[in-house]
Homo-oligomer: A and B are copies of this chain.
Amino acid sequence: MKIIGLGIAGLGRIGKIHFKNVDTFCENAKVVALSNLSVSNIDWINSNKKTINIYKRFDQMVNDKDVDAVIISSPTPFHSEQIKIALDAGKAIFCEKPIDLSLEKVIQVNELVNKSRIPFMVGYNRRYDPNILKIKKDLESGVIGTMQILKITSRDPFPPDIDYMKKSGGLFLDMSIHDFDMACYLSQQNVKKVYSTGSVFGNKEIKEIGDIDTAVTTITFENGSIATIDNSRKANYGYDQRVEVFGSLGMSISQNQLSNNNIIANNKGIHYSKPLGFFLERYSQSYISIMNEFINCLIKKKEISCGIKAGLDSLKIALAAKKSLNENRVVDFDEIK
């Protein structure tokens, strides 16, 4: 069995996860090269992983003959350029989301990727969460019939740094975009129109940078099915990640995963633990699974289902949601181009 050689651009929080996961859980792949590292990362690699080539620049790494595919986990503004370089070198690409905040750039990348026919995956890891895969299976097997209503609740335990939010594009682009991709993935329908309403509760800084911390988005799909997505930057009880699909024959629900399965009963009531941690913990399995799926598609030359279109569609919904909120009106999906 061939072993896929991987080059990773950027070892930030997510880059490190992919690095560790490939090392521990991907039998058929190996990290052979790294680029765009911080000084401390370089030191760590040099003293622990002597066999990995370190490159200063992405274009150097891409041309390492042992690199079969690249993982782009650099900051978002570098993504589109690095994608182009990797495409030129003919290397398969796994790119973290979002591909870019600019629709124009993502449309461009979309064309290049499609033309190139080079394998491309965007890192919507939540699609590979076991709970979500179960819902997908329930939809495909027909046990819940035709999807009519999709409800996604996605609330973070606390907001990100204000500096992050200033550059992230706002709640719809840095947070809801995961849920928008989920809506597309589960419905397998084209979006017809988008409506968003939102507010800021009590966080002055968020208001000052023009962002919101609470939002409800309604997506109507072409076949009439409806997704309603509610987001909050701060759920006091922890990370709230629930998905519910209501279909003509039944309902499939992914509940929150709690920190533990224990119960305490006392004179105040019956108590369960809070939901599990934050995204790195909650979706730890999905990061492993998406990487294995990427490797697997490369080895077996299977088509990648979570491709460039997923990156484009989710961005378009996020931009439509933003437009809807700003202009206080329903936005036709066709308007976003």
Q: List residues of chain A with CB under 8 Å of any chain B CB.
A: 24, 130-131, 134-135, 138, 143-146, 148-149, 151, 153, 155, 193, 195, 197-202, 214-216, 218, 220, 224-226, 228, 230, 232, 235-238, 240, 246, 248-258, 260-274, 328-330
Q: Which residues of B contact A256 (CB under 8 A)?
A: 261
Beyond A253-B264, A270-B272, 6 additional contacts (C-beta under 8 Å) are A146-B202, A151-B151, A216-B218, A236-B267, A238-B267, A250-B264
Q: Is the CB of B274 within 8 A of A263?
A: no
**A270's contact among B131, B266, B274, B328, by CB below 8 Å, is which?**
B274
Number of copies: 4
Q: Kindly name the residue among A24, A258, A260 whose own CB sees the greatest number of chain B CB atoms within 10 A.
A: A260
Shortest distance from the beta carbon of A334 to any chain B beta carbon, whole Å: 14
Complexed CA–CA distance, A215 and B226 (Å): 8
Q: Is the CB of B250 within 8 A of A226?
A: no
**A253's contact among B230, B248, B262, by CB below 8 Å, is which?**
B262
Q: Tell me the nearest residue of chain B to A157, going by C-beta.
A: B267
Q: Which residues of B contact A269 (CB under 8 A)?
A: 237, 271-274
Q: Which residues of B contact A272 (CB under 8 A)?
A: 269-272
Given contacts A130-B260, A131-B262, contact A228 B216 (CB under 8 A): yes
Q: Kindly name the residue among A230, A262, A273 whose own CB sees the greatest number of chain B CB atoms within 10 A.
A: A262
Q: Which residues of B contact A195 (CB under 8 A)?
A: 195, 197, 218, 330
What are 9 inter-chain pairs, A to B, with CB distance below 8 A? A130-B260, A135-B262, A144-B266, A148-B214, A151-B153, A236-B266, A252-B264, A258-B270, A272-B272
Shortest distance from the beta carbon of A328 to any chain B beta carbon, whole Å: 6
Complexed CA–CA distance, A155 and B236 (Å): 29
Complexed CA–CA distance, A153 and B244 (Å): 11
Complexed CA–CA distance, A240 and B151 (Å): 14
Q: Which residues of B contact A328 (CB under 8 A)?
A: 193, 330
Q: Which residues of B contact A193 (CB under 8 A)?
A: 197, 328
Complexed CA–CA distance, A206 and B34 (Å): 59
Given contacts A131-B260, A266-B249, contact A236 B201 (CB under 8 A): no
Q: Is the CB of B235 within 8 A of A246?
A: yes
Question: What 3 pairs between A and B have smallest CB-CB spacing?
Answer: A199-B224, A250-B266, A237-B265
Q: Tell me the nearest residue of chain B to A146, going by C-beta.
A: B201
Shortest distance from the beta carbon of A157 to any chain B beta carbon, whole Å: 9
Shortest distance from the beta carbon of A280 to any chain B beta carbon, whole Å: 17
Q: Is the CB of A267 within 8 A of B255?
A: no
Q: Is the CB of A237 within 8 A of B329?
A: no
Q: Which residues of B contact A248 (CB under 8 A)?
A: 201-202, 236
